[in-house]
Copies of this chain bind each other. A is one copy, B any other.
Amino acid sequence: MKNTFGQNVSVTLFGESHGAGIGAVLDGLAPGIPVDEAFIADQLSLRRPSGKTGTARREQDRFEILSGVFEGRTTGTPLCITIPNENVSSKDYAATRRLARPGHADYTANCKYHGFEDYRGGGHFSGRITAALVAAGAVAITALRNKGIVIGTHVRRCAGVPDRDFEDLAADIEKLNAMTFAVLDDAAAAEMKAKIEAAGQAGDSVGGVLETAVIGVPAGVGEPWFDTVEGVLAHGLFSIPAVKGVQFGAAFDMADALGSQYNDPFAVEAGRIVTKTNHNGGVNGGITNGMPIVFRCMVKPTPSIFKEQETVDFFSREDARLQIRGRHDPAIIHRARVVVDSVTALTLCDLLAGRYGTDYLGGAAT
């Protein structure tokens, strides 16, 4: 079940960077969810590379929905979206076919697939595959929004520059979902962009931290062992290329603290049980407590850099030097955020369908 994720609502990914196309099959979604192709296109545009950071024109990726949608709504049967690969040029890759790019999967792919892998452009490991994830995620995001569940992610930190903390979550989420470069503080955004461009000019790259909040998930979702909300989300999030860490709530801030500082006290507010703080990120014992789910993903600097690097020729098993050419962004963190939103939405649809049944997110639910 390698390339399939989810138990009740599942997504299956396929495709290589330079093959005929990529895509996703989204299965188990409730019937009756509206499918808005313009919204899918918008979401896809958020992860596309841009000429200058953050100034992406919302150009459309071509995609096709092959199945699972009828008269504008999900049917409840598998929804397959494909995205053709266009203008792929493979000629650049033969030269470096046997040189493992540091920080990339070239060498591990070869260990796993014994040379049968499609090595061009990273093949099945390419960040391009996340386009399919985003397309599928867009449907999940719509389904959740119709139940009052919304997701927002900001670049909490990039190249050492911090964004401001979440404040009014509902407003912040709405704001973020209208932004291309999702940073809450304008000055921080400008500084991040400057640092990204500087890194690019130096042939280098930067990373950072994404922070995500989800509001509206009911209390009581998740399992103590092993399908904790944290565990299932992390399982999906670590698939996103460059994500090397996932933390919930106050996370590593708690490591040096005292229990009395980070136990979120319960209180009754307007008849509803809440916690006064949310250091645990909306999850206790693996199960949602009705507070916002909050987590962070650490995104490493993109490994494609233009400085000459030491590596090996993994066919001859000799040391070698590598100079990457072509076009690569010095940062992908601002583009990764829509992938994080998508994985989060798909995971939550799965958890909710498992908890409340297959109709919960659909048109027949009441």
Interface residues of A in 209-223 (CB under 8 A from B): 209, 218-223
- Note all chain B residues with C-beta closer than 8 A to A82: 66, 80, 82
Check if A117 sits within 8 Å of B76, measured CB to CB.
yes
List, sorted by A's number, 7 A–B pairs whose CB atoms are closer than 8 Å.
A19-B68, A20-B65, A22-B67, A78-B124, A105-B287, A205-B260, A260-B309
Check if A80 sits within 8 Å of B254, measured CB to CB.
no
Contact with B along A45-81 (1 / 0, CB 8 A): 0000000000000000000111110100111111110
CA–CA, A310 to B330, complex, Å? 48
A96 interface residue (CB < 8 Å to B): no
CA–CA, A360 to B74, complex, Å? 24
7 closest A-B pairs by beta carbon, nearest first, are A105-B285, A245-B247, A111-B220, A205-B259, A31-B116, A231-B238, A259-B301
A94 interface residue (CB < 8 Å to B): no
Check if A259 sits within 8 Å of B303, measured CB to CB.
yes
Check if B310 sits within 8 Å of A265, measured CB to CB.
yes
Q: How large is the interface on A (under 10, 10 to 19, 20 to 34, 35 or more residues)?
A: 35 or more
Check if A117 sits within 8 Å of B75, measured CB to CB.
yes
Check if A68 sits within 8 Å of B14, measured CB to CB.
yes
Check if B252 sits within 8 Å of A298, measured CB to CB.
yes
From A6, A64, A231, A262, name the one whose CB has the most chain B CB atoms within 10 angstroms.
A231
- Note all chain B residues with C-beta closer than 8 A to A238: 228, 230-231, 234, 286
CA–CA, A211 to B283, complex, Å? 23
A134 interface residue (CB < 8 Å to B): no
